Chain A
């Protein structure tokens, strides 16, 4: 009950920020429409809707890190957390309270992207549901990155690191906008060692029904999600002790 009260407050803070609607929903949908329009005029296989839509859902989730990190960094700077640390809320309540309200937002964002993709010609199959569900570990990864950065950075730094750097890393190293094999070399190896490429390939495999391709990418994403969640919990507890 206590945790749910705190989670409810975090949901309100995030949803009342107009940037959430702009970047969380507006920006991915605009990209989807724009790139589909380009595809209609100059066909590129990478921008076919069944390839583009999963990529856009993952790119959209990279903004989740910004929301999660911003709310935590704001709470730290305003001393609200210091006040709440003197209440009966436990460390588990805090971590779940920051994580749980963002998961349904991430799912809603993914579902809306696919709904828009349906209007743009994506076939309606049960694989869409699978692709939405498999975005859950990806969401957890981005939320944990938000908790991690929110525990150590201030609000301004969060804007730079999560709002600019992370979204660009996700864009460049995921294979959404260009085929990584065209670049090759260190760049491609680096992309394959990071989770963003695997998150996009995981969603593409699920959507196109290539079930055998799911697990290899899921392990990468789940592995990163577990490590980042553990690191986020440790850093959160460290800043809690330092209050």
Chain B
């Protein structure tokens, strides 16, 4: 069974076709990046797969559960770290983690165990009792990813996780994402070519809601006839997407 099996997924907002008959699959434990320029349909695809919006046509199956017919079962399998920092600013980092444990119905002992585990995994020890609103952008993103991992998701959506971060904070987050590979299926949306190339098992390039190509970074470079991934992306978008 595929972790994600997207079949002709389409989302229309009025006259705008945000996602156009997208068909794509991801294996369990794979890190698949969705890459594209603004308006390519990456974020809408994540919203569709995480049941935040309903498809106009088509369906997608997450570990066999339909986003159209069984969204509550899908929600129990996934977690999302949205594009904007999705933390409660007035709470401490620890209270943010407790909030997510609580809304997932964890017992007190499970909650404490999970917070200890995630604190170690993401190196949150020093900021645990600081208010989320006072943390730097990099720490807020780390906390946001920790909150997404609370529910032990089988599939994790990371929507532009390093947007606006400095080089060091981005490098730290890359290490965290690498550590997740093989354990969780990760769908990563990004604008950054080097990020997609460094982290992904496969990259799906989108334009105007359509899938242009889905292959390994090496495969995409070979098909475009260049060693430079950014050039390969540009050629793919201009030539295949034209």
Contact = CB atoms under 8 A, between A and B. Distances in A.
Interface of A: 1-2, 4-6, 8-9, 12-13, 16-17, 74-75, 77-80, 82-89, 241-243
A79 B83 contact: yes
Interface residues of B, number: 34
13 contacts: A2-B105, A5-B99, A12-B91, A12-B95, A13-B88, A79-B82, A83-B80, A86-B50, A86-B75, A86-B78, A87-B151, A88-B76, A241-B53
Q: Which 10 A-B pairs have the closest CB atoms?
A: A5-B102, A79-B86, A79-B82, A13-B90, A79-B84, A83-B86, A87-B103, A80-B86, A86-B80, A82-B82
A242 B86 CA distance: 17
A84 B103 contact: yes
Interface residue SS majority, chain A: helix
Contacts of B78: 86
Contacts of A6: 99, 102-103
Contact of B85 (A75, A78, A86, A243): A78
Contact of A86 (B52, B91, B102, B144): B52
Contacts of A89: 103
B88 A80 contact: yes
Interface string B69-104: 000100110111111111111110001001110111
Interface string B48-72: 0011110000000000000000001
B73 to A, nearest CB: 11
B72 to A, nearest CB: 8
A74 B133 CA distance: 12
A9 B103 CA distance: 11
A1 B80 contact: no
Nearest to B111: A5
A55 B20 CA distance: 58
Nearest to B148: A83
Contact of A80 (B52, B75, B87, B102): B87
Nearest to B101: A5
Nearest to A1: B105
Nearest to B78: A86
B25 interface: no
A80 B95 CA distance: 14
Contacts of A13: 88-91
Contacts of B103: 2, 5-6, 84, 87-89
B147 interface: yes
Q: Which of A5, A17, A242 has the most CB of B within 10 A?
A: A5
Contact of A9 (B52, B85, B91): B91
Nearest to A90: B72
Contacts of B51: 86
B187 to A, nearest CB: 13
A154 to B, nearest CB: 13
B223 to A, nearest CB: 35
Contacts of B47: 243
A12 B90 contact: yes
Nearest to A3: B103
Contact of B80 (A17, A74, A82, A88): A82
Contacts of A88: 72, 75-76, 103-105
Contact of A78 (B89, B102, B105, B148): B89
Contacts of B80: 82-83, 86
Contacts of A82: 52, 80, 82, 86
Given A2-B105, A83-B80, A88-B75, A243 B53 contact: yes
Contacts of A75: 88
B102 A1 contact: yes
A91 to B, nearest CB: 12
Nearest to A74: B89
B76 to A, nearest CB: 7
Contacts of B83: 79
B75 to A, nearest CB: 6
Contacts of B90: 12-13, 16-17
A16 B144 CA distance: 21
A4 B50 CA distance: 24
